[in-house]
Each structure stands twice: as C-alpha cells, then as structure tokens.
Amino acid sequence: MTDLKLQRVIKRYGDDQVVHGVDLDIREREFVVFVGPSGCGKSTLLRMIAGLESISDGDVHIGDTRVNDVPPGQRGVSMVFQNYALYPHMTVRENMSFGLRNIGTPENEIRQRVDEAAAILRIEPLLERRPRDMSGGQRQRVAIGRAIVRQPKVFLFDEPLSNLDAKLRVQMRIELARLHRQLEATMIYVTHDQVEAMTLADRMVVLRDGRIEQAGAPVDLYESPCNQFVAGFLGSPSMNFLPASVTDHDGNGVWVDLAAGGRLHVPRDASRVSRGDSVTVGLRPELVSPADDGVLSGSLDVVEHLGDQTLLYVRLGDDSTVIARDEGSSTHAAGDTVRLAFSDDACHLFDGDGRACPRLPHAAATA
Amino acid sequence: MSDATTGRRRADTGRIVTLTVLVIAAFLWLVPMIWVLAMSLKPNEVLMRTTAGLLPVPFTLDNFIQILNTAKVTRWFLNSIGVAVLMTGITLVLSSLGGYALARIPFRGARIMLIFIIAGLTVPEQAVFIPLDTMFASWHMNNTIIALVTPRLAVPFGVFLMMQFFKAVPKELEEAAILDNASRLKIFFKIMLPLARPALTTLGIFTFLYAWNDYLWPLVSATQENHYTITTGLASLQGNFAQSEGLGFLMATAVFASAPVLIVYLIFQRYIVQGIAMSSGK
Amino acid sequence: MATNSTSAPAAKGVADTERRRPRLSPDTVSGYGFLAPFLIVYLVFLVYPLFRGFYLSLHQWDLLAGPLGWTGLQNYQDLLTDPTFWTALGNTFYFVVLTVPLTTVLALVLALALSKPTRTNAVFRAIFFSSSIVSVTVVTLIWQMVLSPSRGILAQALGTVGIPPLDWLNDQHLAMLALVIATVWWSLGLPLMLFSAGLQQIPGDIYEAARLDNASGWRTFRYITWPALHRTTVLVVLIEIILHFQVFGQPFLMTKGGPAGSTRSLVQYIYESGFRDWHLGYASTGAMVLFVVMLIASLAQLHFSRKED
C-alpha cells in the first residue's frame, strides 16, 4: 500500500518552472531521502507535500486522499525545520502541546502524548524550560518531539542537522535512524549532505534542477549510478572521471583509449556507443591503488594522510588528476612517479551525454 | 620608544580636554532646565526681586501645592493623561494588527495597500488640521476627547514600525504554527504579539510622548479652557503670568507639564534609542 | 521499486490547482480583516481630510455654516499675491537655512565625540537628548525666560562680564536668531541619535585596519567615517528640513510672528488665516501649498532611505 504518491508534480513561480513533473511512490514506513545540490528543488518538493508551497500542477496523494487543496495542518504531516522553529516564549511542554490544543484534543491526552514523546527523545528534564535556555541539539530534539506528538502519517525533515556541529550531527543521525525503527513511521528527509543521505535512507532520491536523476536504495545508487551526475555526487572523495574514446566493442565489453594514455577493456554494454565516440570512464578512488604493474602512470601531486588510509592525488599525462587510495600510511611522497592499478570491473562507462552504460549480465573474464 | 610615550601622552591630554569640554557643554545644556526647576521651588515674592541662581534657595513647595489646588491646571493634566493613554492604547492595537497583516499575510492587493499607507507618511498634520476641524465642527464634536485622540490614530508610523518588526520574525515560526493548525488570529495573539513586546513598548513610548506634547491640534480642536491639555494650557498661562499667578507658579506648571514625559524618558530610554535605530535603519 | 522521473508536460486534463483557488481565500479575508481597523481610521481621518482640504481651498468657508461660496482658484491667486504670505514663506526658509546646518553639524560633532560605547558617553547622549523630550510650550517658556533682558539668566551671566542685555525677542534682527537657538536646543536629540546609530553600524575592523595603516584622526574621519555616514547625513538633513519647515510653536508663542512679521512662519500664517481671521478656505489654500512642498521633500526622503535596500 502506497502511503504517499507524487504524480507529475510541477512547481512554477510566475514564468519560472523549478520542479518539472516529478513522479514518486513512497511506501509506508519507508525512510526516503531527497538529496541534491542547492537549488535542485528538494526543499520545494518537501514543502509542497507539507502544504507550505502551493502545487502548480500534478497531484499529491497521502494515503487515499488527494491533498493539493487540503490545508497544511490537516494533511497528517509533521515537519522538523532546519532552524527548529520553536516558539521562543513558550516552554518545551507548551511548544509540544500547541498543535494538539488547536484541534481541541483533551488536556489529559495532550499531557500523555507529550510525556511519551519526551520519554522517547529523553528530553523529560527540559519540559519546563524555554528554547533560549537550551543547546542546539536539545532544541532539535524538542522540534522532533513536537512533530511526534501529533502522530502524523508522514514525518518531514527539512535539513534538520545542518545547524549542528559535526560531532553532534553524527550523534543525531544515529538517533534519527533509531527513531525511525522505533516509531515505524514514514519519513521524508531532505539534505544536501550525501553521507547523511547514504546512511539514513531506505531509498534515496537524487534531484537536480527540479528533476529526479535516480531513485533507489543507497547501495544501488552508489554501485550502479545511472548517469555521471549521480556517480559524481555520491562518494567522498568523488569518483574519478577519465575522458576516453572508443576503439572497439563487442559482446564482452568496450575497448577505450584513455586521453591520459593507456588502453582499457571495460565490461559494459556497448549498445549506446560506437567506434570513435567520446566517452568517460569512471573509477571510484577506493578501487584505485598504487601498484607496480598499473595501467595509469603519473606524478604524485599531493598526499593526504588520514590515519586509516592515505589519499594520493596523481597527475596524469594529460594534466588531469586522479585520486587513489592506499591502506594505512603510505610510503609514497609528493613528486614520486607512481603507477595505479584497478580491476576492469571497477570501471564505469558513461556515454557522450553522461548516461551510464549498464553492466553486462555476467562480467566476462578480463582479457 | 619615546615617540610612543609622547604619542600616548598627547592622546591622553587630548582625551582630558575633550572630556572637560563635554562636561561643560552638558552642564550648559542642562542649565535652562535646572534654572526653571530652581525657580519653581522658590517663593513668588523672592522671584519678583530676582530670578538669579541655579539652586532652589530659599526652598518652597508652595508653587506645586498651589498647582494641585488650582482646578483648571489639574484638570488639564488629567485631560493629557486621558488623551495620551487612549491614543497609546488604541494605536498599539491598530498598528500591531495592521502591521502584521502587511508583513505576513499574503493577501491580494497587499502591495497596493502598503504603498497607499506609506504615502500617508508624506502628509504633514498641518495639511489636514483645518479640514479635520471643520469635520469635527460639523459633527459638533470639538472639545471632546474623541476629537483629540482620533486624528492621530491615522498616522502610518505605527503600522510601519510594527510591519518592520514582524517582517523580521522568521517565516519558519509561522509555518510551524500553520502546520500546528493555528488560525491567523491564534498565530497573531499566541505567537506574534508575545514576541512583539519590545516593539510594542517602543511604539507605545513614542506615541505617549507624541500625544503628551502635541500642541497644534489640541490648540485648534479644544477651544474651551476646561478641555485644554496641559500643553495647551501652559501656553495659555504664559500671556498673563507677570500679573496674576506669579513666576514661581508658572515655572512649576512647566515642571508639572514635563514631569511625566521626563520620567517616561528616564525609565524607558533604551527603547527610545532602539526605536530610532529601528525606524531609520531599514 | 525505483521510479525514474519523466519530465512530463502538464497534461491538458489535469486541473491547474492554483487557478482553482477561490477569489476570497482565507488569507485575503484575514488580511483585510486585520488591516481594517487601521484602514478605516486612516481613510476617515487622513485621506478624506486631505481631499476635503483641497475642496475647502476652492471655497469661502465658515467653520460652522459650511461653504459660503465657490471661489475656484481665486484663493490661490490671492495667496500668491499676498505679501504677508511671501514674507512668511521667506521667514520659514530663512529659519530652515539657519537651523538645519547648525543642528546637523552640532549633532555630528557630538555623535563623533561620543561614539565609543562607554557608560559615560551614554550618559552624555542622554543629557543632550533630554531637551527633546519636553513639549514646545515648555521649550518656548524656558527660552523666553532665559533670553529675557530683565530677568533672564543669559542677561545675568553676560552682565557679570559687563555685556549689556539684548532684547532678543523684540529686536527685528535678533528675534529669528532667538528662535533658532531655542530650536537647536530643542531638536538636537533626534539627529544626535541618528548619527550615533549610523556610526555604530560602521564595522569596527575598518578602524582597526586604518590604525594599522597609520591613519591620523582627521584622515580616518575624512576617508572612512565620512563616506560611511554619507547616507545617514542626507537622511538627517532631509528629516530636519521637513520637520523645521513646519515650525509653528516657537514663533507663535515666543514672538507672535513679530516684531513686524519678521518671524511669522508659514504654518503660523495658515493658522492665523484660519482661526484668527476665519478665512478657512483661504487658510486651506496655504495648507495645500505647504503640503506640496512637503510632499516633494518627503518623496526625496523616501527615495534616499530606500536606496540602500
């Protein structure tokens, strides 16, 4: 049973169209993350679901109800804002009770729900305090508590962790994951941080310029990105892109000449490409490591020692830079000449339009 | 090294000189008011001989006692209080409601309304006091407290100030309340107003001062002596002060007329300074 | 199931949700509902009187009887040929030309001297602002006393060094100056506060950079402070021009417009035409002229204050 359905949703500001016909089905109890660069429309989409922005065209259904014209407070959604939006002059308890009071919920039920939510989030000692007397992390919990109290069908989160410092962000991330399991609720989460997206999402929706680029489980998006944008967006450090041209192809894959020098055999479907086409080869840094028999060769520009790994920034023959990874502390130093190796399977192939060539059904043995 | 020390010494003497000049200037600035205050605390007979001296010696409270015994003066004072309190209270209500609507409610025609109201800031009271007087005259409502209060309620300054304030409140606060099923009225009373306390205080003080010190309109509208405010009443005393009541009495009336606004000023100074910054800055 | 988007053109059959929104949306109702109380007062007591004033200026009008006869633009013609009107206008200009620069410069100097946010400076500022709190009737009373040749404290002070007293308010050459002095004392507060606020908005690190660059006090003022204050100064000057052009209480109470009409202000002229001579229509004409002048100045002020947005 679908809990939330977006059909051909469009958003226009005057003559300017910012969301171009989005279709999405969200299941009950899913944790869906809208992720993408600023201006991609993720917040706009969220706010349209909440009712804070009008829907220019298309339909939004929550459950069986079409909610386009339903006022925000009656859609069965709760929202957690980036800046918490707590009522500054009310205590935590009053903040959490406000919404229920407005719809005439009896006082003892309000009290009960507030106490329960406070227990889940461990903010009982804060109940009589005011927002200005609390830290950012505490305020965020209260904001979440206020959302829980209303027992919504869908929880909406608009970049809730952006205002917290790095350590607190990691902590809250874990709490949110735990909360999702505990409440068994449908959650839609907006963030520009792909790490947050990857770790929290059951399903990730990558947006760019008002369109869905790809939607699916984080691991799927990471390993099988459908285009260069998604490939480059996920993963840190981001994927290496090596320009190349096609020399030959058959049922086993595609042969390419790298602009940086060297020839590769990529076990990918060749239906999109022909001889002579310009293509891009994608390589995740964690799958590229220094080796004496490597295909690529270049000089080491920068070495970053991270403790558990070392990142090597290697300049290739055509002046492009490739990032490679070495386990633990590397002995290589800036200025060294290194050779880099990787398996053929690790290569992604993108055609001239940036679209990914799919993997072959069974990866043929590399030549 | 010696350059630095002489430099510092030069700066220090400069600072002392500036400070001395400022102290003298501030003292001279206050002299007129101190002098008047001193005279108000001296007996009339003494003042007839000489008005010199900044200290109230010989001291007497007779002038002030006489004021409290003079019905018309106390009556003026009460009129002023009535006008000021009413004007302040009603202005706060009208301005906060209107200011919130213009700042936060996306209603059709809001832009036009805003321009229409801001245009009103260019109209000086002197351009409308005559037609206003004819209006009240034709309703036979001159010499009433309503006539004194209502024209001033129309000044757009209050709405403008409150609008600026409400605009600065984060939009998300309102959105959270909308999601919490709060009606506009509820949002206004339960969330916006409590937050607006400092702006309301500032506006209230400005309005109170303005109402208390208003001269032209009360002069025109309240022609009967028992309807004068303390401001117009004081002016009416100036003509014949030498003859009847006495200089001390006149000075005491001036002090009496200024006391409330000066007290409000001393207590709420902070708000006045903030208010000026708020309305001029953005 | 992962669903990829389709950049679909809006299907013709799907209704445009926004166009279907009813004309009388709850926002429109509440918007006007909140604005109504003020709007009503505003229309009745400001907008309507403005138009009525123009209407009045085209008539001969009695206070209680109403219009006595249409005179068209006769009033305007009479006004522009009335020498008293021109004297009053000239006096007002003269007053503004004397008062505004004096107040502005004095306020600027004080604001600079008191720019550091210390407790003493705050006290000083409070002192210089306190004179602005009292009403015009108190101010005129105070200064009439202060400047009195027989009993004033100024005459007494000057007398101790052998300077004979001046009859400020009865001397044709000194009367206007007396009004200016009293006005400067009374109105210094607002420009002082505006300049102080303007100075506070200048970020502190600019001054620190200037110190590192070895800028002297004068150079710092000329090249850093003054350019930053430019906009504030323009605003202050405009506000003051508008304020002092409307001067009424000071000439009316201190000199009654004399001696020989040398201090009569424009508003005083309007007031006297209306409430001493009872020519209300004619007085309205003067008021309309005043309004036009003020409108131009106010628009200039609004223009300059919006520019920074």
Check which CATH number belongs to the domain holding C106 and give it: 1.10.3720.10
- Is the pLDDT at A140 greater than 80? The verdict is yes
CATH number of B239's domain = 1.10.3720.10
- What is the Cβ-side half-sphere exposure of residue B58, based on CA atoms within 13 angstroms? 10
Kindly state whether residues A20 and A91 are assigned to the same domain: yes
Kindly state whether residues A212 and A327 are assigned to the same domain: no
Residue C166 inside a domain? The answer is: yes
Residue C132 inside a domain? The answer is: yes
What residue numbers bound the domain in which A336 lies?
Answer: 240-350
What is the pLDDT of chain B when averaged over all its residues?
Answer: 88
What is the pLDDT of chain A when averaged over all its residues?
Answer: 90
A98: nearest CB among B170, B180, B195:
B180
Residue C36 inside a domain? The answer is: no
- Is the pLDDT at C13 greater than 50? The verdict is no
Please give the pLDDT value at position C181: 94
Average pLDDT for residues A290-299, to the nearest whole number?
Answer: 86
What residue numbers bound the domain in which B207 lies?
Answer: 62-281
- Element holding A169 (H helix, E strand): helix A166-183
Residue C50 inside a domain? The answer is: no
Kindly state whether residues B83 and B205 are assigned to the same domain: yes
Q: Which two tokens stand for residue B116?
A: 């229409």
Domain count, chain A: 2
What is chain B's Cα-based Rg? 25
- Is the pLDDT at A158 greater than 70? The verdict is yes
Alpha helices per DSSP H over chain C: 26-42, 48-57, 74-81, 83-113, 119-130, 136-147, 153-160, 175-187, 189-200, 204-212, 217-220, 226-245, 249-250, 266-275, 280-306
Kindly state whether residues A16 and A139 are assigned to the same domain: yes
Parallel/antiparallel/unpaired status of strands A211-216 and A240-250:
unpaired
What residue numbers bound the domain in which C176 lies?
Answer: 98-249
Kindly state whether residues B36 and B66 are assigned to the same domain: no
d(CA A330, CA A302): 12
- Segment A190-201, tens digit of pLDDT: 999 888 999 999
Residues above pLDDT 70, as percent of chain C? 90
pLDDT band per the 50, 70, 90 thresholds, residue C57: confident
The one-character DSSP state at C162 is T
Kindly state whether residues A177 and A272 are assigned to the same domain: no
d(CA B196, CA C220): 39
Domain count, chain B: 2
Kindly state whether residues A227 and A297 are assigned to the same domain: no
Q: Say yes or no for a CB contact (<8 Å) between C5 and A54.
A: no
Residue C39 inside a domain? The answer is: no
Residues above pLDDT 90, as percent of chain A? 65
- Segment B248-260, tens digit of pLDDT: 888 999 999 999 9
Average pLDDT for residues C166-192, to the nearest whole number?
Answer: 91
- Residue A331 identity (one-letter amino acid): T
Average pLDDT for residues A267-293, to the nearest whole number?
Answer: 89
Kindly state whether residues A156 and A198 are assigned to the same domain: yes
Q: Say yes or no for a CB contact (<8 Å) between B130 and C274.
A: yes
Smallest Cα distance from C186 to chain B, Å: 10
Residue of chain A with shortest Cα separation from B196: A89
Kindly state whether residues B68 and B30 are assigned to the same domain: no
Q: Say yes or no for a CB contact (<8 Å) between C2 and A25.
A: no
Q: Is A10 on the interface with C (CB under 8 A)?
A: yes
Q: Is the peptide bond preceding residue C259 cis, with omega within 30 degrees of 0?
A: yes
- Is the pLDDT at C4 greater than 50? The verdict is no
Smallest Cα distance from A147 to chain B, Å: 9
Residue A366 inside a domain? The answer is: no
- Residue C135 identity (one-letter amino acid): S
Please give the pLDDT value at position C171: 85
Quote the pTM value: 0.83
Q: Which of A232, A265, A296 lies at the terminal end of a domain, its last residue?
A: A232
- Is the pLDDT at A211 greater than 90? The verdict is yes
Q: Which of A213, A232, A251 lies at the terminal end of a domain, its last residue?
A: A232
- Is the pLDDT at C6 greater than 60? The verdict is no
- Segment B69-94, tens digit of pLDDT: 888 899 999 999 999 999 999 999 99
Please give the pLDDT value at position A332: 84
Domain count, chain C: 1
Residue among B136, B140, B278 at smallest CA distance from B220: B136
Kindly state whether residues B90 and B142 are assigned to the same domain: yes
The one-character DSSP state at C186 is H
Smallest Cα distance from A324 to chain C, Å: 31
Give the ipTM: 0.86
Average pLDDT for residues C56-63, to the nearest whole number?
Answer: 80
The answer to whether A52 touches C35, Cβ cutoff 8 Å, is no
Residue of chain B with shortest Cα separation from A146: B180
Please give the pLDDT value at position C11: 41
Kindly state whether residues A99 and A78 are assigned to the same domain: yes
d(CA A319, CA A311): 18
Put simply, the chain B residues between 75 and 94 with a CB less than 8 A from any chain C CB are 93-94
- Is the pLDDT at A48 greater than 90? The verdict is yes
pLDDT band per the 50, 70, 90 thresholds, residue B4: low
Residues 6+ apart with CB under 8 A from A184: A29
Please give the pLDDT value at position B241: 53
- Chain B with chain C: Cβ pairs closer than 8 A: 250
Residues 6+ apart with CB under 8 A from C109: none
Q: Say yes or no for a CB contact (<8 Å) between B122 and C299.
A: yes
The answer to whether A5 touches A60, Cβ cutoff 8 Å, is yes
d(CA A212, CA A19): 10
Please give the pLDDT value at position C7: 41
Q: Say yes or no for a CB contact (<8 Å) between C153 and B185.
A: no
Residue A355 inside a domain? The answer is: no
CATH number of A253's domain = 2.40.50.140
**Which of A48-57, B2-11, C113-122 has the lowest average pLDDT?**
B2-11
Q: Say yes or no for a CB contact (<8 Å) between A85 and B186.
A: no
Q: Say yes or no for a CB contact (<8 Å) between A55 and C18.
A: yes
Q: Say yes or no for a CB contact (<8 Å) between C16 and A215.
A: no
Residue among A265, C303, A73 at smallest CA distance from B186: A73
Q: Is the peptide bond preceding residue B58 cis, with omega within 30 degrees of 0?
A: yes
d(CA B100, CA C44): 21
Average pLDDT for residues B37-55, to the nearest whole number?
Answer: 86
- Residue C244 identity (one-letter amino acid): H
Kindly state whether residues B123 and B252 are assigned to the same domain: yes
Looking at beta carbons, which residues of chain B come within 8 Å of C133?
Answer: 209, 258, 261-262, 265
Residue B107 inside a domain? The answer is: yes
Put simply, the chain B residues between 45 and 74 with a CB less than 8 A from any chain C CB are 51-52
Average pLDDT for residues C221-226, to the nearest whole number?
Answer: 81
Residue B49 inside a domain? The answer is: no
Kindly state whether residues B222 and B118 are assigned to the same domain: yes
Parallel/antiparallel/unpaired status of strands A77-80 and A154-158:
parallel
d(CA B136, CA B244): 34
d(CA C248, CA C281): 20
